[in-house]
Amino acid sequence: MYDMSLLKPLKLIRIARRAGVVTVRYPYQPPLITDEFRGRIVIDAKKCIGCGACVNVCPSNALTLIDDGDKRILNYFIGRCIYCGRCADVCPVNAITISKEFELATDKIENLNSRVVHQKSTCCSCGEERVATEKMISYVVSRVPVSEAYAHMGSNCRKRRFVEGLMLGRGMLHVETEK
Amino acid sequence: MVDVEPRLEDVEKIRKELEVKLGNIARRIEYVSGAGLIVEVPKDSIRDTVKVVHDELDAYLRVIAGVDERPIKGVFSSYYVFGLDNIGLNIIITTYMDSENPSISTIADIAPSADWYELEMYDLLGIRVENRQLYRFVLPEDWPEGLYPLRKDVAHNIRPPPTPAEKGVITGPRIPVGPYHPALHEPEYFELYVEGERVVDVRYNGFHVHRGIEKLGESRFTYQQVPFLAERICGICGFVHSVCYTQAVENAAKIEVPERAEFIRSIILEVERLHSHLLWVGVACHLLGYDAGFMHAWRIREKTMVLAELLTGSRKTYGINLIGGVRKDINRDKIDTVLKTIKWVEDEFRKLVEVITSVPQVVKRASGTGILPRHEARRYSVVGPVARASGLNRDVRKDYPYAAYKYVSFKVPVYTEGDNLARLLVRVDEIFESINIIRQLLDQLPSGSIMAEDIEIPEGKIGVSSVEAPRGEDIHLVITGKGRPYRWRVRAPTYQNIPALKVMLKDAPLADAPLTIASIDPCFSCTDRVIVVDVSTRKRKIISLRKLVKLEGNGCMI
Amino acid sequence: MSKQRNELLEALKALKKSVWVFHLNTGSCNACDIEILDVLTPYFDVERFGIKLVASPRHADLVLLTGPITRKTLPKVVNTLRAVPRPRLVLAIGACAVGGGIWYDSYSVIGGVEALKKVLEENGVEIDKLVYVPGCPARPEAIIYGVAVLLGLVKPKVKAEVIEAK
């Protein structure tokens, strides 16, 4: 009679019927996302101190630091981000959180840039521009027993002050004391 | 811990044998743990040394890496890595060439699989290989002569001016980056030389996806950033590259990785193997015209993608691997989900395989085509399911054990026919073995931390590591430098398998070509288009693969 | 010129559904490409919108471009885009296509669609609408969202922000 093995492929119909309709009708139904999904990052501008640890660790340089006059800008380019989450790992103040957002399509590429603007700090005694931002200095002062005045000084001025202090102590320097 | 070392008695035996055979040639023969037995010879004796190692000791050629060591030692050097599978030992032959006009003689007649490595050495480093034909291989045709990107005095971001659109060389209906339904293609193509309906020769014109990864890893990236780069070498088996790189550095620097991290790495590797093989089964079905099989295989595969996202945070390019361990842990809930999912996958896939292997057209088209005989497979040193389907019992998880594979027991499926059906059956068996391995690993998962503390990486050490990717053996060689690797050599499995296509496609009917090419599972499942050159009429015809698939008549209707 | 542009915009309005797409891989790692393929499979099933893959750029309405555009593929990419009939719509999928990806400054890579636009201008090939879909790899749902943005069915959500750190 008929070769029954030829009917074996028809078992697919039973498999298909058992599986049913599996389509997740996005966007009318929620997407297939788990709790662990890593979407774009969100930088909390209140916490960020502009230290640049995230910039150093980002493998694709999606996070960059740009100097613009007396401002230092942390630029996050969503277009090149690889969603690895290393920046959130290394941020010392936990300013970076990983959200679950993935609906990031746009027709204007400028919209993919997100910036946090910091004020650069200058040396309080000579006015020279420094590497740190104002918020970085406040962060250091709140954790380390240094005075605000010391923290606001540039490294050249600090060295000068240190040497002057030594020379004063050994009587090699005369300082006009204020009356 | 570092990769499992071969037994010291075996190493001593081989060392003594080499001393006897090469005593007057070799400058030194030394065992470096984490790499292998280093044999340093002057460059004029390279051919004799390779003859001893490849022919007399019967070692497989694994990878050849050229290195620009002029800043450190003032010479160019090259490392020929051979492997003895039965004891799990690498034999690394190193030799030096002078820095002005580096040149070395070819070994491609002794070990045919060395062909591509030598071309690459010339293309990227400028080391002339004598007594053979040299042509542009990796870099594009319009790249200026004399500019070798992997040399240390060339920056990684140089941009010699690009060419505008091709002008007039080959006109006609040429759409070189043609797609192919279901468009799983990559821009490379094979040139098939035919006589009537029979294929007589095949040439591979590729490396369109060359992105300069090795150069980037040596210039812009630091040690801990490279795993993310390595993961994007391939989007289907990316985690394999990431694990292989971190293991190579850990071998070189003798870093102890916590056991829990090794288990987690192995579990994710097996999950990746599941998704990759299910992908391949779907694509193979599609190429045979059996679209229903394609859809069902990918329906089953989707659950593994969601599982990967639950375990690592991303559907693909997981990003959880770092030197010294992993970033994400597995808790009790996740373990339960994993077990449930793989049980579902196992049941569904078993039913699907029963159907696929009973469809008469599928079986007839796949069996007896694309045959790779055992001795040819040995000559070309093929790897992975291609080797296992031709009777070679090669599996890196058993021969050079790494991560947590020494704690599990599993079978290695070996078939002897060497045709397309054998390669399909090997992969089907591997899916069931993977599920078995995941269950064993989850059972034995130890507690502890997932990241090593205080990682220090000394300079100037060499480390070699290999991992069994879904497509075969993937091998990385790392020479450590300051803050970043000094030399990082990646050899993906498909690189080793494509030259064997010449044998598989010879004298085969043209209509079998798409399935044969796809059966080695090129890491970009396949040729978008083929150029068919009719040798007798000397006419070139461009056929899209879709038409080639249809040449066999309509596929199965179910 | 503006009359032709108006005609093109009118033609674009008619393309609300059932776009025919062509997949162009310019050297990507394939993760975005299998996600594009995934969009066709039962879980996401984009064919319910009438979208289908075509074999030739001459039949395509929309080009799905992935990959950072390597040097070797550049002339072929230009040729392929030239073969697409107007209105030319391009969807740049993935971190590589949008910004050059993790290897944006390598010697072998042009650097994503931004750099490609300059080359296309030199060769007289105009793109009428270009939408960027970031992601590494871009999720299938993100790709569907990107197609919807390109067809004008939804407004893009992401906006440039400049916040002062206080």
Question: Distance from A38 to chain B by nearest Cα, in Å?
Answer: 6
Lowest mean per-residue pLDDT among B250-259, B371-380, B471-480, C15-24 = C15-24
Which of C104, C114, C163 lies closest to A109 in CB terms? C114
Mean predicted confidence (pLDDT) in B135-146: 81
Averaged pLDDT of chain B:
82
Query: How confident is the model at residue B440, as a pLDDT?
Result: 93
Q: Which residues of A touch B224 (CB under 8 A)?
A: 57
Task: Indicate the pLDDT class of residue B162, thresholds 50, 70 and 90.
Answer: low
Task: Indicate the pLDDT class of residue A6, thresholds 50, 70 and 90.
Answer: low
Phi, psi torsion values for B50, nearest 5 degrees:
-65, -35
- Burial of residue C128 (CB within 10 Å: 0-12, 13-18, 19+) is middle
Determine, for residues A83 and B229 on separate chains, whether the beta-carbon distance falls below 8 Å. Answer: no
Determine, for residues B235 and C43 on separate chains, whether the beta-carbon distance falls below 8 Å. Answer: no
Instruction: Give the best residue of A5, A32, A36, A37 to mutate against chain B (max B CB count within 10 A).
Output: A36
Q: For residue range C111-156, what is the model confidence (pLDDT) as tens digits? A: 889 989 998 888 888 888 899 999 989 998 899 889 888 888 888 8
**One-character DSSP codes across B327-361:** S----HHHHHHHHHHHHHHHHHHHHHHHHHTT-HH
- Whole-angstrom Cα distance, residue B381 to residue B496? 7
Query: How confident is the model at residue B7, as a pLDDT?
Result: 85
Determine, for residues A32 and C43 on separate chains, whether the beta-carbon distance falls below 8 Å. Answer: yes
pLDDT at B75 over 70: yes
Q: How many domains does chain A have?
A: 1
Chains that touch B (3 or more CB pairs under 8 A): A, C
pLDDT at B171 over 50: no
Does residue A66 belong to any structural domain of this protein?
yes
Lowest mean per-residue pLDDT among A149-158, B102-111, B143-152, B212-221 = A149-158
Q: Which residues of C touch B187 (CB under 8 A)?
A: 25-27, 72-73, 76
Q: Residue B321, CB half-sphere, CA atoms under 13 Å: how many?
A: 31
Determine, for residues B355 and A85 on separate chains, whether the beta-carbon distance falls below 8 Å. Answer: no
- Whole-angstrom Cα distance, residue C39 to residue C34? 9
Mean predicted confidence (pLDDT) in B130-137: 84
Task: Give the residue from B517, B451, B549 showing the smallest Cα distance to B204.
Answer: B517
pLDDT at B552 over 80: no
Query: How confident is the model at residue B557, as a pLDDT?
Result: 27
- Are the C-beta atoms of residues A165 and A171 closer than 8 Å to each other? no
Query: How confident is the model at residue A4, as a pLDDT?
Result: 59
Percent of chain A clearing pLDDT 90 (strictly above):
32
| A vs C: CB pairs below 8 A | 136
Q: What is the CATH number of the domain that holds A154?
A: 3.30.70.20
Determine, for residues C156 and A62 on separate chains, whether the beta-carbon distance falls below 8 Å. Answer: no
Query: How confident is the model at residue B189, as a pLDDT?
Result: 61
Tokens of B407: 């704690």
Chains that touch C (3 or more CB pairs under 8 A): A, B
B304's enclosing H/E stretch is helix B291-312
pLDDT at B535 over 70: no
State the pairing for strand pair A129-133/A113-122. antiparallel
Task: Give the residue from A73, B166, A60 showing the smallest Cα distance to C111.
Answer: A60
Query: How confident is the model at residue C52, as a pLDDT?
Result: 83
Cα C27 to its chain centre, rounded Å, is 14
- Whole-angstrom Cα distance, residue B253 to residue B32? 12
User: Domain residues for A48?
Assistant: 36-169
Which of C131, C134, C163 lies closest to A116 in CB terms? C163
Task: Indicate the pLDDT class of residue B178, thresholds 50, 70 and 90.
Answer: very low
B544's enclosing H/E stretch is strand B539-544
- Whole-angstrom Cα distance, residue C36 to residue C55? 15
The residue with greater pLDDT, C91 or B498, is C91
Q: For residue range B283-338, what is the model confidence (pLDDT) as tens digits? A: 888 888 888 888 889 889 988 999 999 999 889 889 899 999 999 999 999 999 99
Using CA atoms, how far residue A107 sits from C33, C91, C98, C139, C147, in Å, is: 21, 9, 11, 18, 11
Whether B213-496 and B8-130 are alike in CATH topology: the answer is: no
DSSP B396: H
Task: Indicate the pLDDT class of residue B467, thresholds 50, 70 and 90.
Answer: very high
Q: What is the dotted CATH code of the domain comprising B8-130?
A: 3.30.460.80
Determine, for residues C56 and B178 on separate chains, whether the beta-carbon distance falls below 8 Å. Answer: yes
pLDDT at B199 over 80: no
Instruction: Kindly state whether B163 is in contact with chain C, defined as any CB-CB distance less than 8 angstroms.
Output: yes
B405: number of Cβ within 10 Å: 23
pLDDT at C17 over 90: no
pLDDT at B530 over 50: no
Q: Which residues of A touch C (CB under 8 A)?
A: 22-27, 31-32, 40, 45-46, 48-50, 59-62, 77-83, 102-119, 133, 135
Query: How confident is the model at residue B520, as a pLDDT?
Result: 81
Does residue A146 belong to any structural domain of this protein?
yes
**One-character DSSP codes across A107-159:** S-GGGGEEEEEEEEEE-TTT--EEEEEHHHHHHHHHHSS--HHHHTS-HHHHH
Q: Which residues of A touch B319 (CB under 8 A)?
A: 38, 82-85
Determine, for residues A104 and C129 on separate chains, whether the beta-carbon distance falls below 8 Å. Answer: no
Query: How confident is the model at residue C33, as a pLDDT?
Result: 86
| A vs B: CB pairs below 8 A | 68
Q: List domains and CATH numbers for chain C.
A: 2-150 (3.40.50.12280)
State which fold the B213-496 domain adopts. Answer: Cytochrome-c3 Hydrogenase; chain B (1.10.645)
Lowest mean per-residue pLDDT among A14-18, B165-169, B334-338 = B165-169
- Are the C-beta atoms of residues B229 and B214 closer than 8 Å to each other? no
Instruction: Kindly state whether A23 is in contact with chain B, defined as any CB-CB distance less than 8 angstroms.
Output: no
Q: Which residues of B touch C27 (CB under 8 A)?
A: 186-187, 208-211
Does residue A1 belong to any structural domain of this protein?
no
- Are the C-beta atoms of residues B97 and B43 closer than 8 Å to each other? yes
Which of B175, B182, B302 lies closest to C57 in CB terms? B175
Q: For residue range B181-190, what is the model confidence (pLDDT) as tens digits? A: 333 445 456 6
Task: Give the residue from C59, C69, C72 showing the smallest Cα distance to C24.
Answer: C69
Query: How confident is the model at residue C57, as a pLDDT?
Result: 85
Query: How confident is the model at residue B531, as a pLDDT?
Result: 45
Averaged pLDDT of chain A:
84
Q: Which residues of A touch B359 (CB under 8 A)?
A: 9
Instruction: Kindly state whether C165 is in contact with chain A, defined as any CB-CB distance less than 8 angstroms.
Output: yes
Query: How confident is the model at residue B523, as a pLDDT?
Result: 67
Instruction: Give the best residue of B204, B205, B209 to mutate against chain C (max C CB count within 10 A).
Output: B209
Mean predicted confidence (pLDDT) in B225-244: 90
Domain ranges of chain B: 8-130, 213-496
Mean predicted confidence (pLDDT) in A3-10: 68
Report the chain B residue with the minimal C-alpha distance to residue C79: B165
Task: Please state the ipTM of this predicted complex.
Answer: 0.90
Q: For residue range B377-389, what is the model confidence (pLDDT) as tens digits? A: 888 888 899 999 9
Instruction: Give the best residue of A84, A101, A102 to mutate against chain B (max B CB count within 10 A).
Output: A84
- Are the C-beta atoms of residues B515 and B370 closer than 8 Å to each other? yes
Mean predicted confidence (pLDDT) in C26-50: 82
Which of C27, C75, C105 lies closest to B165 in CB terms? C75
- Whole-angstrom Cα distance, residue B207 to residue B193? 20
Determine, for residues B176 and C30 on separate chains, whether the beta-carbon distance falls below 8 Å. Answer: no
pLDDT at B540 over 50: yes
Mean predicted confidence (pLDDT) in C23-51: 83
Determine, for residues A59 and B313 on separate chains, whether the beta-carbon distance falls below 8 Å. Answer: no
Determine, for residues C26 and B182 on separate chains, whether the beta-carbon distance falls below 8 Å. Answer: no
- The stretches of B111-172 forming alpha helices (DSSP H) are 115-125
Does residue A77 belong to any structural domain of this protein?
yes
As beta bridge partners, residue C63 has C22, C90
Instruction: Kindly state whether C14 is in contact with chain A, defined as any CB-CB distance less than 8 angstroms.
Output: no
Determine, for residues A106 and C158 on separate chains, whether the beta-carbon distance falls below 8 Å. Answer: yes
Lowest mean per-residue pLDDT among A137-141, B172-176, C70-74 = B172-176
Query: How confident is the model at residue B534, as a pLDDT?
Result: 53
Q: For residue range A23-41, what is the model confidence (pLDDT) as tens digits? A: 777 777 777 788 889 999 9
Q: For residue range B468-518, what is the model confidence (pLDDT) as tens digits? A: 999 888 899 999 999 899 999 988 888 888 888 888 888 778 777 778 877
- Give the E-state strand segments of B106-248 in sequence order: 128-130, 189-195, 198-205
pLDDT at C28 over 90: no
